[in-house]
A and B are shown apart, each in its own frame.
Chain A
Amino acid sequence: MIEVTDLYKEFKGIPVLKGVSTTFEKGVTNMIIGQSGSGKTVFLKCLVGLHVPDSGIICFDGRKQKELDIKEQRLLRQEIGMVFQGGALYDSLTVEENIMFPLKMFAEQSFSERMDRVNFVLKRVNLENANKKFPAELSGGMQKRVSIARAIVMNPKYLFCDEPNSGLDPNTATVIDNLIKEITEEYQIITVINSHDMNSVMEIGEKIILLKDGVKEWEGSNKEIFITENEAVVNFVYSSNLFKKVREAYLKETK
């Protein structure tokens, strides 16, 4: 379990996170939603250690992030997989080399063992024939899948995804969503996803956190998000007519 307690972060005197507390459970797809500038990315970057919080506690299965020495922090980071918004694949490396990279750095395995693992995760993300391609030769959806494959190649305990659907067509976005959900359940990973995409939120958001101006405004599931009267959720999630109508229809049906 990841426990976040009273997280504060500011940049040049401007507070971005103002005391966020929550928990993330194993095998559950946790989603963080909120408007641009609400602090989602900063929150995610604090979780993975790219930003150091000004105060507050982040605890990974009993290990407090800020109490770990450099070696322990590195070990913790080896348990973390991250899917970046733009994929963050290494341009000069092939798909196979990109995925093998964490194994080369940290796993004491022979080349054939590493290759087997790479082929296994590539198969898992349905990209069996892309081994020798370079990231520039792949579509956006394929790049995201390679990024997911790289994130899970070390069997992480924690998976963080920053807007995994941005720039993808709805079909591909659904494929990526389902893949993340399947992987989360299959490997019992703690998954935290930053998203703007309401389709994803409704589809796979087992636990949803709404951030507004750096404050946790609401927390619930994708079932509860339909019935909540929370103003911030209603304004953010149901800002489009389509979603308003979907909600009205859902409420009518459940009454």
Chain B
Amino acid sequence: MKYLKHVGKYFLMLRQVFKKPQKWSVFREMLFREIEDLGLKSLGIIAFISFFVGGVVAIQTALNVDSPFIPKYLIGFATMRSMILEFAPTFMSVILAGKVGSYISSSIGTMRVTEQIDALEVMGINSLNYLVLPKIIATMFFYPLLISLAMFLGIFGGYVAGTLTNLFSSEDFLYGIRLDFDPYYIQYALIKTVVFAFVIATIPAYHGYYVKGGSLEVGRASTQAVVWTSVVIILLNYFLTQMLLA
């Protein structure tokens, strides 16, 4: 019952969020600020992680595929598939849920406990629309770009790892990543990313917006936001994979 109550409250929150912004110029300003805070400031960590994980995936695959009957180009093939289908869209989203989710939840939560949200409401501003809608648009617009970069850097990381360790040749790797390539995989990954971006923006916003108490509760809300965002991403990933690939 408690969970159902939260689900209902979450959807009621969304109803307030998706209203026409009260002033477009202010909304535009907020949107660019959110793109910077939630997107551009995550570029570094996403680039770093995807490059090195791509390298590790390639090395692990090379070390585990030591049979002479298995062609070396499968290393590139496996790296490409794992980066595009799962690693970049899903696991980068889980990482973003931690980084961005805690930021969203704690910033909105702090605004709640310091009465800044009340101040918005007293002024006659729809605080949910003002605070959350730019975050949703910013993440849904920017994360596909971020995840596309993660896909590229992951595969590039695999390529660099191969050339540095001599575990496989760059020709084999390049042949492998092009083998049986279906552009739909990119589409699939980007659809998942957009859905996850929505989750990353809204679930932490919900936890932050309805926090009650002080700084301790804001911390708790932030932790809960990250946990629930990750859980929902993993569950949605399961259903989306079934729906889009099966």
Contacts and interface: CB of A to CB of B under 8 A. Distances in A.
A49 B110 CA distance: 21
Interface in B1-26: 22-23, 25-26
Contacts of A168: none
B26 A104 contact: yes
A105 B125 contact: yes
Interface in B84-136: 110, 114-116, 118-119, 121-125
A76 B122 CA distance: 10
A88 B115 contact: yes
A49 B114 contact: no
Given A84-B115, A85-B115, A86-B114, A105 B122 contact: no
A78 interface: yes
A76 B114 CA distance: 24
Contact of A77 (B23, B114, B123): B123
A86 B124 contact: no
A158 to B, nearest CB: 10
B115 A86 contact: yes
A49 B120 CA distance: 12
A50 B121 contact: yes
B23 A82 contact: no
Using C-beta atoms within 8 Å of the partner chain, give the interface range for chain A.
20 to 34
A187 interface: no
A55 to B, nearest CB: 22
Contact of B123 (A86, A89, A105): A105
A84 B26 contact: no
A193 B191 CA distance: 53
B122 A80 contact: yes
Interface in A50-74: 50, 73-74
B119 A82 contact: yes
B119 A75 contact: no
Interface in A77-126: 77-78, 80, 82, 84-86, 88-91, 101-102, 104-106
Nearest to B113: A86
Contact of A88 (B23, B26, B118, B125): B118
A76 B123 CA distance: 9
A105 B23 contact: yes
A76 B124 CA distance: 8
A105 B118 CA distance: 16
Interface string B118-159: 110111110000000000000000000000000000000000
A75 B124 contact: yes
Q: Which of A84, A90, A101, A105 has the most CB of B within 10 A?
A: A105
A78 B114 CA distance: 21
A78 B124 contact: yes
A50 B23 contact: no
A204 interface: no
A16 interface: no
A84 B117 CA distance: 11
A105 B27 CA distance: 10
Given A104-B23, A104-B26, A105-B23, A84 B123 contact: no
29 contacts: A49-B122, A50-B121, A73-B124, A74-B124, A75-B124, A77-B121, A77-B123, A78-B123, A80-B122, A80-B123, A82-B119, A82-B122, A85-B115, A86-B114, A86-B115, A88-B114, A88-B115, A88-B116, A88-B118, A88-B119, A89-B116, A90-B116, A104-B23, A104-B26, A105-B23, A105-B26, A105-B123, A105-B125, A106-B123
Interface of B: 22-23, 25-26, 110, 114-116, 118-119, 121-125
Interface of A: 48-50, 73-78, 80, 82, 84-86, 88-91, 101-102, 104-106, 160
Given A77-B122, A88-B118, 9 more contacts: A50-B118, A73-B124, A74-B124, A77-B123, A78-B123, A88-B116, A104-B23, A105-B22, A106-B23
